[in-house]
Chains A and B, each alone.
Chain A
Amino acid sequence: MIWDKEKESIQREELAQLQLERLQSTIHRVYRNVPFYRRIFDKNSIDPDSFSSLEDINKIPFTTKNDLRENYPYGLFAVPLREVVRIHTSSGTTGMPIVVGYTKNDLKIWTELVARVLTSSGITKDDVIQIAFNYGLFTGAFGFHYGAEKIGASVIPVSIENPKKQIKILQDYKTTALISTPSYALLIANTLIEMDINPNSLYLRFGLFGAEPWSERMRQEIEEKLKITALDNYGLSEIIGPGVAGECLEKKGLHIQEDHFFYEIIDPQTLEPVKEGETGELVITTLTKEAFPVLRFRTGDLTRFIPGECPCGRTFRRIDRIMGRTDDMIIIRGMKIFPSQIEAILYEIEGRQPNYQIVLERQAGVDQMTILLEMSEDIFSDVMREQTQLVNTIKDRIASEFGLSINVKLAERRSIEKVGEKIKRVIDKR
């Protein structure tokens, strides 16, 4: 089923006209209302009246995460704060989080977009949806919540709970669709096995998983263990939250929402568009956002456009599942962390530049992070008790900073393998 057939199956030619109209009006609004963009346009002598085709978007410099961060908290809002009816933040990256606002219309459109993604995953008003995302500043839970209510499904806002409680609700409330991160779904699946519960005794039919990269292999594992259809979706707070792209039941890529966003894929090194079908960094321009419009935002996520039409009837193009990050950002359990943030903590505790390596593994479906820390000789010769204390201090600091429990292993000096002069900071074994 298609939620909004008129829009999602729009003729490509008609779509191009609509995108041009919306790009032109967005540029006028942004130029008038956001000083940051007005400065960029003026500095680069870009005439806001000079956009006559979608390709003209190339004239605009990219907006980076750093640009958003530097305008913390409200610097990039295109409307006065009193017109904003909701505020979310992106999961904290280095230092400041990015604060995004929504007007009434933004929320309405967001809800529609999520309703499209849910419907394309086979979810209908007859479903009972269990949302196992954290309800808070993070956009995931609220985005899905309102979208699911819009299509008329029954929503259970469980939020993050221990897996056994989730399973009890899955059983007792007859949940038919689970919304979470893929690693959390796998945790639930493995807990089911531990508890010796037959997945066929559940009512669960669908799972919509996102907020962290996952693989086709992981999809198979989740589908087999939970006996469901598992689908991928993509979104980011800087753009709107969930609803930016979602898989249909064909499972051959995520349909993007081209009437509300303009998507480009660029080479992150040269910043030039990649050839059709090649992998690069996803860049998004909002076409209808009122409170927090962005022009050519570099998502940092790697993907490609999937060529050809989808048999499902949607004419919106598809992107491939996110293949990773352009920078070394770590995404673990839906949270985004930079190695530099870890480094800062280690430096503070140790009082010197740490030699360390972050190892990411997936154990029993759960993402685990281990910090391998090289010790200076004087500490290493010290008593065991002090070493244990150091490990615990690091663990506690990271737990309080990111709400994440990790492993810390101390290593002898120069025991971490170097690539040339440098230690490879992140080893992702997932």
Chain B
Amino acid sequence: MLTIKNLDVYYDKLYTLKKISLHIKKGEIITLIGSNGAGKTTLLNTISGLIKPASGNILFEGKEISNETPEKIVKLGISQVPEGRLIFKTLTVEENLLLGAYSQYSFGRKKHIMKDIDTVYSLFAKLKERRKQLAGTLSGGEQQMLAIGRALMSKPKLLLLDEPSMGLAPNIIKEVFQHIIELKKLYGLTVLLVEQNAKSALKIADRGYVLETGRVILEGSAEDLLLNRDVQRAYLGRDLDAEERI
């Protein structure tokens, strides 16, 4: 579905991505793991057209999109849930969702859009309960669900999720990740998930890529990455030496 080849990105005068190659097949959940500044968010922003690459290719369903505008890329079917959610706090839940359908909007489409909102509500029951509430009054977990729901309103084929677990309590993280699995299972959605919380991400992902200083240093099935000792030490927060002593 998405094939990236030799992507070079300069950002803020820094060389942040060097010859990144990766691919995502339809229906896969792929996770990018890596420490702060490894280039994970830069990569997502490059895919969604917010940053232009210096060189390299991004093929989405066989079509080169590296020079397309963000608006066009959303229309083609890629939707990003930004880090920190960035919801409109002074608007209601439903208004936020409607904004997500911006790219779909045209005269006479209202009925379809309302149907899409119902689909989002069926997925996130809490959003339905709070449809008239201001988004700013939602809990962190609910705000994350709203951000995902809003991204779904543009009917994406590929969802880019940037740190959905950030600032959330462990049980809420679990809930959010459960929703991501449902999106894949019920709607066949393809997901590219960027996470600091590598353990949770690898548990729901099919495959993963490990980024270090703007380069892919490891690719593999999520299962293999969970077994990899470098990944365990650097990203899963396991003190292997301590475990061995026990």
| Chain A positions near chain B (C-beta within 8 angstroms) | 14, 17-18, 20-22, 24-25, 28-29, 32, 49-52, 79, 82-83, 103-105, 108-109, 288, 290
Contacts and interface: CB of A to CB of B under 8 A. Distances in A.
Would you call the interface of chain A mostly helix, strand, loop, or mixed? helix
Would you call the interface of chain B mostly helix, strand, loop, or mixed? strand
B71 interface: no
B244 A25 contact: no
B72 interface: no
Interface string B16-49: 0011011100000000000000000000000000
A28 B18 CA distance: 11
7 smallest beta-carbon distances between A and B, as pairs:
A52-B6, A21-B21, A28-B217, A83-B229, A49-B18, A25-B216, A105-B224
A29 B210 CA distance: 11
B219 interface: yes
Interface in B196-243: 209-210, 212, 215-220, 224, 227-230
Given A18-B23, A79-B229, 6 more contacts: A21-B21, A21-B23, A28-B212, A103-B228, A104-B227, A105-B228
Contacts of B217: 25, 28-29, 32
Interface size class of B (residues with CB under 8 A): 20 to 34
B3 A17 contact: yes
Nearest to B210: A25
Contacts of A105: 220, 224, 227-228
Contacts of B23: 14, 17-18, 21
11 contacts: A17-B21, A17-B23, A20-B21, A21-B23, A21-B219, A24-B19, A25-B210, A25-B215, A51-B19, A52-B5, A52-B19
Nearest to A78: B230
Contacts of B22: 21
Contact of B229 (A17, A20, A32, A103): A103
Given A82-B244, A105-B228, A108-B227, A21 B216 contact: yes
A52 B5 CA distance: 8
A103 B215 CA distance: 23
B114 to A, nearest CB: 39
Given A17-B3, A82-B244, A24 B216 contact: yes
A290 B219 CA distance: 11
A28 B216 contact: yes
A288 B229 CA distance: 14
Nearest to A82: B244
Nearest to A19: B21
